[in-house]
Amino acid sequence: MRDPDLFTYDRYDLDVYERVTTATTGDLVDQAPAVIERLLATLLRGLRIDTNYLPYSAEVLRSAIH
Span 38-51, pLDDT tens digits: 999 988 888 888 88
Confidence of residue 15 (pLDDT cuts 50, 70, 90): confident
Identify whether the C-beta of residue 33 lies closer than 8 Å to the C-beta of residue 58.
yes
Q: Which pLDDT value is given to residue 6?
A: 52
Q: Where in the chain are the domains?
A: 25-66
pTM over 0.95: no
pLDDT surpassing 90 at residue 13: no
Q: CA dihedral defined by 15, 33, 46, 2, rounded to 10 degrees?
A: 120
